[in-house]
């Protein structure tokens, strides 16, 4: 008997349209037939729009919500835990084992705090981490942490290596993914004491064949695809991610200006517009920009606040794949191996 997986979807508190969410989930359902959904949103709107997606309609339950956490809500508001918000209820459904994972498009900080508080971290992992799938010259890599935990601490960084390695092995379907530690150079003496301590720990775990650590990587190595996993603290990771997004936008904007600059270039743009579209899609943050909150007892996925259906379906596919391959069992397995073999 195939196992079913239930995904709770927080449909409020972002600029993502209900139709994009439903269309995306429906697309993913065609590939992942054992998916079920709990949809936390406006019942009237959702029940009307879901009719178009017959299959999705059959496996979804709508839970009516009016209140939501907005993008500007302050942490004090969030910690006051408004228990009628779509985000709170979606997270709570996982806590109460009515669902296996949460998908949200809303306030990342709120999602992080509420998930940590209610779903809690795996007992083997000190702190959860936000991972992202980053496009590179060879394909894609997992980069983490992107902002869950801004403290530089070797234990957290080793946890990130375990979490990232587990995600990469499932998402990219590879054994022993290569791991790099983000630093300002590749020589042994580079970086702070805490970074060097982390590197020593990861080296020891690699000698014991538990992980596949390849040493330091630099900022440019992320897009170059030097390793399958790039480990960093949440401060550096968040700034690297947003800098990359900003650079991509700058490039795009200059390109658009340039194409408008003459009649010839306008014709050129017209002729190459399909090719241009494919580049935009390959690098489109609306498709790729999903953050995987990992290290918790259940998976939580944060999609871009303005997602299109493709981004939703991409994120749902990833959730399914991680659930199907039991990512948390994989993480526990890594930790057990580590604890039996080396100091950690």
List residues binding a copy of itself (CB under 8 A): 74-75, 109, 135-137, 147, 150-151, 182, 184-185, 187, 189, 191-192, 218-224, 232, 234-236, 238-251, 253-255, 258-259, 261-262, 264-265, 267-276, 278-279, 282-283
Q: Nearer to a copy of itself by C-beta: 47 or 252?
A: 252
Q: Nearer to a copy of itself by C-beta: 157 or 319?
A: 157
Q: Nearer to a copy of itself by C-beta: 208 or 253?
A: 253
Rounded alpha-carbon distances, angstroms, from residue 199 to 90, 186, 191, 193, 239:
38, 11, 10, 10, 21
Shortest Cβ 182–a copy of itself spacing (Å): 6
Shortest Cβ 244–a copy of itself spacing (Å): 4
**Cα 109 from Cα 194, distance rounded (Å):** 26
Shortest Cβ 268–a copy of itself spacing (Å): 3
Shortest Cβ 165–a copy of itself spacing (Å): 21
Shortest Cβ 117–a copy of itself spacing (Å): 17
Q: Are 191 and 184 in contact (CB under 8 A)?
A: yes
Q: Nearer to a copy of itself by C-beta: 130 or 290?
A: 130
Shortest Cβ 259–a copy of itself spacing (Å): 6
**Cα 37 from Cα 293, distance rounded (Å):** 19
Q: Are 92 and 108 in contact (CB under 8 A)?
A: no
Q: Nearer to a copy of itself by C-beta: 209 or 278?
A: 278
3-state class percentages of the chain: helix first, strand second, coil last, to nearest 5: 50, 15, 30
Q: Residue 195, Cα to own-chain centre: how many angstroms?
A: 24
Largest CA distance in the chain: 68
**Cα 315 from Cα 312, distance rounded (Å):** 5
Q: Are 178 and 192 in contact (CB under 8 A)?
A: no
Shortest Cβ 144–a copy of itself spacing (Å): 14
List Cβ neighbours of 110 (8 Å cut-off, separation of 6 or more). Answer: 69, 73, 75, 78, 87
Q: Nearer to a copy of itself by C-beta: 273 or 339?
A: 273
Q: Nearer to a copy of itself by C-beta: 75 or 80?
A: 75
């Amino acid at each position: 008997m195939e196992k079913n997986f239930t995904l709770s979807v927080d449909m409020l508190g972002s600029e993502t349209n209900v139709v994009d969410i439903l269309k995306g989930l429906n697309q993913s359902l065609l590939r992942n037939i054992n998916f079920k959904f709990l949809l936390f949103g406006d019942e009237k709107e959702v029940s009307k729009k879901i009719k178009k997606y017959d299959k999705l309609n059959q496996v979804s339950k709508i839970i009516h919500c009016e209140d939501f956490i907005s993008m500007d809500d302050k942490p004090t508001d969030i910690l006051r835990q408004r228990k009628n918000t779509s985000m709170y209820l979606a997270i709570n459904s996982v806590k109460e084992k009515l669902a296996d994972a949460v998908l949200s498009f809303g306030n990342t900080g709120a999602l992080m705090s509420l998930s940590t508080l209610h779903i809690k971290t795996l007992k083997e992992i000190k702190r959860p981490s936000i991972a992202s799938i980053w496009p590179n010259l060879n394909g894609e890599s997992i980069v983490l942490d992107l902002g869950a935990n801004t403290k530089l601490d070797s234990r957290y960084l080793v946890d990130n290596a375990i979490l990232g390695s587990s995600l990469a092995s499932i998402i990219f379907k590879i054994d022993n993914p290569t791991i790099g530690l983000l630093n300002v150079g590749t020589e042994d003496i580079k970086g702070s004491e805490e970074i060097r301590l982390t590197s020593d720990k990861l080296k020891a775990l690699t000698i014991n064949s538990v992980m596949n650590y390849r040493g330091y990587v630099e900022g440019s190595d992320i897009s170059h695809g030097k390793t399958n996993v790039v480990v960093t603290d949440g401060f550096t990771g968040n700034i690297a991610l947003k800098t990359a997004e900003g650079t991509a936008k700058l490039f795009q904007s200059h390109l658009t200006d340039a194409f408008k600059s003459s009649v010839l270039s306008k014709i050129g743009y017209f002729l190459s517009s399909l090719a241009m579209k494919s580049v935009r899609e390959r690098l489109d943050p609306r498709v790729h920009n999903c953050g995987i909150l990992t290290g918790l007892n259940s998976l939580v996925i944060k999609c871009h606040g303005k997602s299109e259906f493709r981004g939703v379906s991409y994120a749902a596919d990833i959730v399914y794949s991680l659930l199907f391959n039991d990512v948390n069992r994989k993480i526990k397995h890594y930790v057990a191996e580590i604890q039996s073999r080396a100091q950690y």
